[in-house]
Amino acid sequence: AFPKQVRLVEVGPRDGLQNEANPIDTATKLELIDRLGAAGLTYIEAASFVSPKWVPQMADHREVMTGLTRRQGVTYAALTPNLKGLEAALECGVEEVAVFGAASEAFSQKNINCSVAESLERFAPVLERAKAANVRVRGYVSCVLGCPYEGEIAPAKVAEVSKALYDMGCYEVSLGDTIGTGTPLAAKRMIEAVSRDIPMEMLAAHFHDTYGQALANLYAVLEEGISVVDSSVAGLGGCPYAKGASGNVASEDVVYLLNGLGIETGIDLDKLAATGTWITQTIGRPNRSKVGVALAAK
Ligand code: HMG
Ligand code: MG
C-alpha cells in the first residue's frame, strides 16, 4: 500500500552539483540551500566532506556548512566517507551525516578507493564517533540496480551491504540506482529483498533518471511502502565515478506525482519549480524537470 506521507531528501546541492566542471561559488550554493528550505524541503544534503582532489566542486564544504542559515525544522546533512571527513563536518556543526558504500566491488574501488569490506571497516569508527557526538548517520548503497563496471547486481548483494550498514547503526539506508538502469519490476524485487532484513520505513529510494525510468521505479517502490525519496531540484547531477549517469529524479516531478497520489509532502511546488528555474539559469544547465519546465512556461 502507498504511504500517507513521504519525506523528500533533497540532494541537489550535493549530488546535483558535485559533478559540475565549472566552479560554482559558495554564495550560489547557499542561496540554493536557502530557497529549497523556503520551498518546504525539510532535509537538505548540503555538502560533502570528501577529498577536494577527488571532487573539486565540494571543496568549499566548510564554507557551505558554516555559512548556511538554518531554518527551524530543516536538517542540513553532509557526506562523510571517513573519520577525517566526519571530524571536519562536526567542527562545522553538522546535524546529520551520511556514509556511502556500494553493492559493487568495482564501483567501491573507483568511488572511494577501497573494497566493500574495507569500506564497512572504515565506516564503523565513523558511526561510533558520530554516535558519541549525537549525530545521526544515514547509509547509502550505490549500484543497487546495476553497476557501470560490473553490470547486473544481485538483490541479495544489495540486501547484504544494506544490512551491514543498518546493523552498524545507520538509521536509514538509501538505495541508489546510481546509473539509472533500473526498471520497475527490478526495483520492486530489490526492495523486497532488502526489506526482509530492514523495516520498510528505514529505507529510502535514491533513483537517478539516466534511462528515464526513475518516476516509474518510484511508483513501484512507493506501492511497496517506501516513504522516503531522494531527489534533486531540476534533476541536477551525475556521479563523477559513473560515466554518463545523469541527475537524480527531479524533486518537482516527484512532488507532482505524489500530489496526484494524494500523498502529503508539505512542499510548495511553485516555489520549488521557481528554484529549479533559477539554479539552472544561474549555472547554465538545462532544466531536467518536466514539471519545472511546464510550470515555468505557464
Ligand atoms: P584515499 O585517497 O583512499 O584516502 O581516498 P587517503 O586516506 O589515502 O587520503 C588521500 C588524500 O585525501 C590525503 O590528502 C587525505 O588528507 C585526503 P593528501 O595527503 O594527498 O593531500 N582526504 C580527505 N580530504 C578531505 N576530506 C576527507 C578526506 N579523506 C582523505 N574526508 C576518499 C578516500 C574516500 C577520501 C576518496 O576516495 C574520496 O574523497 N572519494 C570521493 C568520492 C565521492 O565523493 N563520490 C561521489 C559521492 S557518492 C555518490 O554520488 C553516490 C550517491 O549519490 C548514491 C548513488 O547515487 O548511488 C551517494
Ligand atoms: Mg546519487
Q: Whole-angstrom Cα distance, residue 285 to residue 4?
A: 34
ipTM of the prediction? 0.98
Mutate to test the pocket of ligand 1, among 9, 50, 165 (most ligand atoms within 8 A of CB): 50
CA of 59, nearest ligand number: 1
Report if pTM > 0.90: yes
Predicted local confidence at residue 246, as pLDDT? 83
Predicted local confidence at residue 239, as pLDDT? 63
Predicted local confidence at residue 190, as pLDDT? 98
Q: Whole-angstrom Cα distance, residue 262 to residue 217?
A: 18
239 is catalytic: yes
Q: Whole-angstrom Cα distance, residue 201 to residue 203?
A: 6
Burial tier of 10 (Cβ tally within 10 Å: 0-12, 13-18, 19+): buried
Residue 68 is which amino acid?
L
* Pocket-forming residues, ligand 1, beta carbon under 6 Å: 15, 18, 48-51, 54-55, 81-82, 84-85, 100, 111-113, 140, 142, 176, 178, 206, 208, 239-241
Residue 18 is which amino acid?
Q
Q: Which of 282, 289, 285, 250 is nearest to 27 (CA)?
A: 282
User: Is residue 66 within 8 Å of 94, Cβ to Cβ?
Assistant: no
Distant-in-sequence contacts of 82-87, Cβ < 8 A, 24+ apart: 82/122, 82/126, 83/122, 83/125, 83/126, 83/129, 84/49, 85/49, 85/50, 85/126, 86/49, 86/126, 86/129, 86/130, 87/129
Neighbours of ion ligand 2 (CB under 5 A): 15
Atom of ligand 1 nearest to the CA of 176: 57
pLDDT tens digits in sequence order for the chain, 298 residues long:
899 999 999 999 999 999 998 999 999 999 999 999 999 999 999 999 999 999 999 999 999 999 999 999 999 999 999 999 999 999 999 999 999 999 999 999 999 999 999 999 999 999 999 999 999 999 999 999 999 999 999 999 999 999 999 999 999 999 999 999 999 999 999 999 999 999 999 999 999 999 999 999 999 999 999 999 999 999 998 666 667 668 999 999 999 999 999 999 999 999 999 999 999 999 999 999 999 999 999 9
Burial tier of 21 (Cβ tally within 10 Å: 0-12, 13-18, 19+): exposed
User: Is residue 37 within 8 Å of 71, Cβ to Cβ?
Assistant: yes
